[in-house]
Structure 1
Amino acid sequence: NTAPCDDGNACTTNDRCSGGVCQGGAPANCDDGNPCTNDLCDATSGCLHIFNTAPCDDGNACTTNDTCSGGICQGGAAVDCDDGNPCTDDACDPKVGCVHTNNTALCDDGNACTTLDVCSEGVCTSGAPADCSDDNPCTTDLCDPDSGCVHLYNTASCDDGNACTTNDRCSGGTCQGQATIDCDDGNPCTNDLCDATSGCLHIFNTAPCDDGNACTTGDQCSAGVCQGGAPTNCDDGNPCTNDLCSSATGCLHFFNTAPCDDGNACTTGDQCSAGVCQGGAPTNCDDGNECTDDSCDPATGCTHHVNPYNSCSDGDPCTWGDHCLPDGTCSGTASPWCQ
């Protein structure tokens, strides 16, 4: 018959009689669907499922190098989802694996001349230009995309902050004053100096000065102005000059023809001529007295010396033998014949 039977081999199924003998049917299906077991069949005991360490897939897309252990697929190391792009947030979905979501994080576009770069649609977008100003007028400020801000020394004009220097110019990155400012205001009545903060100062003094008027002396500064002193004394002591003063040239002495005294008592009517006192006519020293010798001394003037030897006339016709007396009078003897 063809009745079902058991051929005694656990590795066959659907055994059936054939020709009076139990014939093994199809091989037993020992596949347990577990990749972590090696499936085999033992004729005595039937299917055997031996644990293995084969590579497997734990069904989690976020693990790698899954390996069988104890008949179970064990997830390996976490998958590395870093795509090297700072503009994506990298995560892992166990079903689909790595997910890269665009973000708006700060980033670096690789250009040192931009700042505050920000991610947009998965790409790093350049931000505002870098401010390379170092607030130093003595550097020219540039930007190199590779190295960033560069400050090159220049020779521009500048201000060193010292009010007492001029023509300041940059040198070696520093503002250098070139020359000292000239604070001379040309006024002798100020002391000129320079203060580094406020610049030139002009302090009033009381120094001697020249007011430009030749007709003043002892001029002295007052409140920043030269004040004329006492009038110039132009008197040259010569009565034969008219003494004046010109503010431009000073004392002037003009000849005059004024009466004067030549210092000689023996001249009269002295008068100035060409700046010199010229003696006039000789002094008349005749005193009308026949009994004196009349002469003139330049120092003292007329002198009258009694001379008893002089002849004289007493003016009386009734006298005779008129002669000079010691007192300088003329005296005669009365004539007996004159009545």
Structure 2
Amino acid sequence: MRLSSILFSFLFAGPVGAQTSCRDLGKGVIDQRCTEDFPVCVTRNGAQVVGGNRGHHCALCINSQQPNRFWQVDPDEGCDFDFRVCVGSRPLAANVEGTACATCVNSIPDTIDANTFDDGCPPDAPICVNDDGSEPALRKPGTNCIADCVDTSYFEMDVGCPRNYPHCVLKDGTDPGEQVPGVKCAACTPLTCDDFNPCTDDFCDPIFGCYSIDNGSCVCDANAEDWQCDDFTLPLCSGTNFCVCDVDAEGAPFCWPNVLCEGLVDCSSNSDCPEGTRCASTCCGAGQCLPECDDSIEVLPNSVLKGEAPSGPTSTGK
């Protein structure tokens, strides 16, 4: 009886060395029977195991981010944001085991395209270098990411910066000046974020770009006035659109957008006007029905915001 049991085990259980030692539990977690230092289950040949299947051993990392037709910013599986790129003794195929995590890799030589960034480098410091500042050989790891950029243009891409982060700037985010080197790349600068709207304060987030905040200086209730047709400085309403802060025919605060004079309805009071419009005196005439501002109205041209004579209706004295 014992002999038959031993023979059964030998025939059907297989050799001990063929037994699998790990199982895939999904992306971003430590696979079954793996450890924090070696978290990824792979096959005997080092390929990633997926779909909950069993594998041969646990790997330190795999090349999970490349190739993807883009640069690599997120870390490979098994790596972290300090050491993002899984590397081996030679360039790795996709989803194949590596032996170490590197800070970055010289993935594209700047002789081919100076406005790209190397794998593992963040957009504000796109070039992978060694400790001494030299570039590693192509497809070899480096130890640091820098921005080797020069301010060459106001609105176009500066040399040394990637397309989505085209501005070479100083540490405080300002422009260095034409043909002056900067220290990092950014999505914007304070100058490019100026929307010429006095109702907003404008800000530049170097990673996400420009944004504006209503500064409260154009609240129409406080600034409403029956301003004159020859006034070049418009009292503007707050909000996303450049609308004029005026008073209607009954003396109530009223925001109206820049509209052409053609086709306006004459009026003497708000009751004469269609729904969504109010009666006000403008340069188009005394008593015109004007639409109220909302997010669908086209904004005023920059010429108005810069203090030049407006081309649309403006308030006139009564």
- The TM-score, its normalising length taken from structure 2, stands at 0.22
- Which structure dedicates a bigger proportion of its chain to helix? 2
- The TM-score, its normalising length taken from structure 1, stands at 0.21
